[in-house]
């Protein structure tokens, strides 16, 4: 009589073998589980880092900060140009007047002009000359409205080159405010229109009333220079209403609608 247990085991073994053969023929030759596994866990393991030191008070951090590079100061005043003809070449060449690598533009116009127009610096799109870009076209329109030819105006900038985000205090510490006053004295205009008075005042380190006093003291041997502060040309391009305000101030300053 056959052994029943042995027969059952043989049947079970055959069934298991047949099932594995079926899955193997179907292409499944590995065991799979449904539980999710984090295969990148080892890669994400970060070694323990020491605790960060507490931040120092801002005052201590500022005191320990290394000083930022400073512009060289403009040389001895006795070496500055003493005539307007020699000023422009010096303005374009003196290293202390502008950071290296920036394109400089000279002032334009005659000495002793009835009107000098001062802007903080050349505009980014002033390619050919000072006030030759978009702001310059507005400037020409302003001159046309007050009846002045461009050739009659002495146009100058407080900085010789366009400087993105200028630090006016740094330029003032380098002596460019004194250079500006010297420049105005050489140009010797009767009137000075400052288009961008906030920047110019910061360069000189004075409020507008004190600025007017310093301008009146430039040419003590001749008629004092009167100044009219106004918004910069870029601000008037962005806010056309400022042009009407400039016109009202011009009428009040000159007492006439023409020059």
Return the CATH number at 111: 3.40.470.10
Give CA–CA dist 188/221, Å, rounded. 11
pLDDT digits over 166-214, tens only? 999 889 989 999 999 999 999 999 999 999 988 998 888 765 555 666 6
pLDDT of residue 137: 95
Q: Is 39 part of any domain?
A: no
Q: Is 77 part of any domain?
A: no
Q: Is 189 part of any domain?
A: yes
Q: Could you tell me the pTM of the whole model? A: 0.70
Q: Is 13 part of any domain?
A: no
Q: Is 43 part of any domain?
A: no
With b for 16 or more beta-carbon neighbours within 10 A and e for fewer, the 57-82 pattern comes to: eeeeeeeeeeeeeebeebeeeeebbe
Q: Is 47 part of any domain?
A: no
* pLDDT band (50, 70, 90) for residue 132: very high
Give CA–CA dist 147/201, Å, rounded. 28
Domain of 131, in residue numbers:
104-254
* pLDDT band (50, 70, 90) for residue 225: confident
Q: Is 46 part of any domain?
A: no
Cβ proximity of 259 and 148 under 8 Å: yes
Sheet containing 226-230, strands listed edge to edge, beginning at the edge strand earlier in sequence: 153-157, 115-119, 191-195, 226-230
| Strand residue runs (E) in 112-172 | 115-119, 153-157
How many structural domains is the chain composed of? 1
Q: Is 177 part of any domain?
A: yes
């Amino acid at each position: 009589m056959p052994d029943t247990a042995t027969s059952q085991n043989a049947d079970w073994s055959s069934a298991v073998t047949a099932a594995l053969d079926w899955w193997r023929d179907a292409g499944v030759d590995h065991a799979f589980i449904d539980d999710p596994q984090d295969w990148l866990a080892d890669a994400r393991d970060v070694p323990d880092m020491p605790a960060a030191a507490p931040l120092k008070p801002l005052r201590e951090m500022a005191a320990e900060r290394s000083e930022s590079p400073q512009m060289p100061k403009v040389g001895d005043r006795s070496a500055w140009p003493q005539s307007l003809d020699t000023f422009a070449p010096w303005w374009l060449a003196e290293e202390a007047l502008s950071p290296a690598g920036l394109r400089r533009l000279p002032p334009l116009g005659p000495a002793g002009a009835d009107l000098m127009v001062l802007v903080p610096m050349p505009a980014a799109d002033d390619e050919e000359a000072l006030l030759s870009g978009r702001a310059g076209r507005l400037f020409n329109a302003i001159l046309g409205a007050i009846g002045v030819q461009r050739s009659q105006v002495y146009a100058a900038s407080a900085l010789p080159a366009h400087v993105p985000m200028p630090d006016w205090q740094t330029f003032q510490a380098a002596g460019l405010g004194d250079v500006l006053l010297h420049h105005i004295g050489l140009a010797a205009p009767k009137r000075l229109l400052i288009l961008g008075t906030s920047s110019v005042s910061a360069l000189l380190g004075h409020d507008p009333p004190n600025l007017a006093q310093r301008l009146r003291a430039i040419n003590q041997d001749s008629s004092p220079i009167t100044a009219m502060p106004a918004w910069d040309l870029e601000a008037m391009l962005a806010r056309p209403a400022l042009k009407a305000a400039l016109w009202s101030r011009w009428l009040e300053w000159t007492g006439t609608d023409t020059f």
